[in-house]
Homo-oligomer: A and B are copies of this chain.
Amino acid sequence: MTAKKTDFSFMDHFFKPRSVVIIGASNTHGNLGAPMCHSLKRLGYQGDIFVVNRKGETVHDCPGFSSLADIPVDVDLAVILAPASVTSSIMRQCGEKKIASVIIETAGFSEVGGEGQRLQEEMDIEARKYHIRYIGPNCIGSMDAHSRFTSFFGVRPGTFDELFDCPGKISVITQSGGVGTLILRSLMTDVVGFSKIISIGNKADIDESDMLQYLIQDPLTNVICMYLENISNGKKMMRAAAGSSKPVLIYKAGATKQGAHAAASHTAGMSNNDDVFDAACRQAGMIRLQSVTELYSMPKIFVTMPLLQGKSIVVLTNTGAFGTIFTDLLVHAGLVPVTLSANMQLVVKKAGMVFNAANPIDLGPGISGDPFLDIFKLLLGSGEVDGFVLAINIWQQSIVDALISMAALCQEYGKPAAIYTPNAIERVLHIRKNYKIPAFETPEEAVRSLVVSHRFFMYQLKKKR
């Protein structure tokens, strides 16, 4: 099963429009569109930015008009913040202005039922009549770190400056603005940056599968993360995912009957059968995540490390207890804390002072310096090990330096290491941010990263066959 190549290039409008109009932005106190204008100006976005409001007033240097029709140039994208009751009329005006792409951030549609449902249907009729493709309603917009575009509402200008200054290759599709924001904020204390993020809300037109196909073809995306509360069309999604050569990581809320019921009031979705979804993920080669936190903790294993091609793992530690703890975790995760050959143990012992040369290998406090890196190279070069857990307590700068060298060696030898430093969380954040060491926050996260890396490797192998 492979996806047919469809032209999704119109979706570029949601991330890098040559011109955008923000409908409902004004200088009224508390207006939600004004910070959006402010952010775009602050980021130095290169496209034209217009606003439409009752008075036709200019907002943060973005020229204002009282009607869409008055804008003197063609517009790629309209962002609608106006009340639900006027949205279908605005959609018609967009059509008349020949705007082909719209993001409707307004809430109060099918997720509230009754009248909202009717408003959504009305709006949809207008959209179809004018061949408009739209995102939403009930979403918080899109961002692109490379083009420096944002249509997020409710974000104080400057909040995500760091992320825009270091664009990355992680893209995010989310059915919840709150989860999207959590992911972005969490990447700010991590080693990997985002590329594109889009909140799809009620997904009345463009759904997660359309967006997935677009991102699979996007040259600036290497890893795709999805937060979903329901699946619009399971088969469509499976077709899209099956064609992906990029990791697709999904966390789906509403896994239980009660959770699905809660989700329905949030983003207007039908509940889905969780077992069916689980099987579908495996069949289409998508990685199902176990926690919403994995949406931001897991991507780094794909960006900073080679894939795990086998199950034989060695634990290197300078804190004996974590050798034991990780051995348990590896076994429980279905990985193999491999026993090194007698010969390899001898070689390791010769290379440097070790407390224990079997596996886990306890290097004691003297874990830095050349002898230690020599041991790591020997293990990388041996045919006995597919990947590593580095459970290394950072108690002096030389250990930070050693970890930086080790991460580079992993790339050189094509074998991954999951790094966990048994230090308090503040220290972990410090070394991750300041030294770009891809450290995980818990032992469980570290082992899980090896599992998802290996799972993706196996999916790819299957797809190639």
Q: Interface majority SS on A: helix, strand, loop or mixed?
A: helix
Is B427 touching A327 in the complex (CB atoms < 8 A)?
no
Could you tell me which residues of chain A, from 317 to 362, have a CB within 8 Å of some CB in chain B? 319-325, 327-328, 330-332, 337, 355-356, 358, 360, 362
Beyond A176-B319, A253-B324, A266-B324, 14 extra complex contacts between A and B, CB < 8 Å: A178-B319, A188-B424, A189-B425, A253-B321, A254-B328, A258-B327, A261-B327, A262-B324, A262-B360, A263-B324, A266-B320, A292-B443, A293-B443, A441-B441
A424, B180: Cα distance in complex, Å: 11
A444, B442: Cα distance in complex, Å: 13
Is A327 touching B262 in the complex (CB atoms < 8 A)?
yes
Is A178 touching B424 in the complex (CB atoms < 8 A)?
no
A117 at the interface (CB under 8 A from B): no
10 contacts between A and B (CB under 8 A): A185-B427, A189-B424, A229-B324, A258-B327, A258-B337, A262-B323, A262-B324, A267-B320, A293-B442, A441-B441
A182 at the interface (CB under 8 A from B): yes
Residues of B within 8 A of A255 (CB): 328, 332
A7 at the interface (CB under 8 A from B): no
> How far does the Cβ of A113 sit from chain B's closest Cβ, in whole Å?
12
A393 at the interface (CB under 8 A from B): yes
Residues A256 and B332 in contact in the complex (CB < 8 Å), given A321-B227, A362-B265: yes
A441, B425: Cα distance in complex, Å: 10
A360, B262: Cα distance in complex, Å: 7
A356, B107: Cα distance in complex, Å: 14
Interface residues on A, range: 35 or more
1/0 contact string of A221-259 vs chain B (CB within 8 Å): 000000101000000000000000000000001111111
A193 at the interface (CB under 8 A from B): no
Residues of B within 8 A of A185 (CB): 423-424, 427
Is B324 touching A424 in the complex (CB atoms < 8 A)?
no
6 closest A-B pairs by CB = A178-B319, A176-B321, A185-B424, A259-B328, A266-B320, A256-B331
Residues of B within 8 A of A182 (CB): 422-424
1/0 contact string of A438-462 vs chain B (CB within 8 Å): 0001111000000000000000000
Is B259 touching A327 in the complex (CB atoms < 8 A)?
yes
A179 at the interface (CB under 8 A from B): yes
Is A189 touching B426 in the complex (CB atoms < 8 A)?
yes
A405 at the interface (CB under 8 A from B): no
Chain B residue with the shortest CB-CB distance to A358: B265
Residues of B within 8 A of A265 (CB): 320, 355-356, 358, 362
Is A266 touching B321 in the complex (CB atoms < 8 A)?
yes
Is B424 touching A258 in the complex (CB atoms < 8 A)?
no
Could you tell me which residues of chain A, from 98 to 140, have a CB within 8 Å of some CB in chain B? none
Residues of B within 8 A of A227 (CB): 321
Residues A179 and B327 in contact in the complex (CB < 8 Å), given A186-B424, A332-B256, A441-B425: no
Chain B residue with the shortest CB-CB distance to A424: B185
Residues of B within 8 A of A323 (CB): 262, 266
Is B324 touching A254 in the complex (CB atoms < 8 A)?
yes
A39 at the interface (CB under 8 A from B): no
A291 at the interface (CB under 8 A from B): yes
Is B291 touching A443 in the complex (CB atoms < 8 A)?
yes
Could you say which of B229, B256, B355, B356 contacts A321, with CB atoms under 8 Å apart?
Answer: B229
Chain B residue with the shortest CB-CB distance to A112: B355
A175 at the interface (CB under 8 A from B): yes
Residues of B within 8 A of A263 (CB): 324
1/0 contact string of A181-193 vs chain B (CB within 8 Å): 1100110110000
